[in-house]
Amino acid sequence: MQAHHQADEGSMMDRCREEFSSAVEEHPLSTTLGVFAIGLTLGVAVGAALSASHHSDRRRMAESFGRRVLDSLHEYVPDSMQQYLHA
């Protein structure tokens, strides 16, 4: 039974490959532009996801660094100015 199932999958893959090949032969420019558009869309989506993740990490690090600098300056700043350090 399993051998029959694998044979069906193999023949299905062969049919898909043949259909794709004939579509490329019949419409080479459309196929190329379609594949290019799909690749560009995926590239932009992945780039945006990585950029958003990287941007939030950089922001968190900058905020942490800023807090540490302000905390270290706390003892050197006059009392009248300290209210502005924690704003």
CA-to-CA distance for 82 and 84, rounded, in angstroms?
5
| Domain span holding position 76 | 2-85
pLDDT of residue 66 exceeding 60: yes
Number of domains in the chain: 1
pLDDT of residue 87 exceeding 60: no
70 close to 83: Cβ distance less than 8 angstroms: no
Phi (first) and psi of residue 86, to 5 degrees: -105, 15
What are 67-82's pLDDT values in tens digits?
888 777 777 777 776 6
What are 1-50's pLDDT values in tens digits?
555 555 666 789 899 889 888 888 998 898 888 889 998 998 888 888 77
72 close to 60: Cβ distance less than 8 angstroms: no
In this prediction the pTM is 0.46
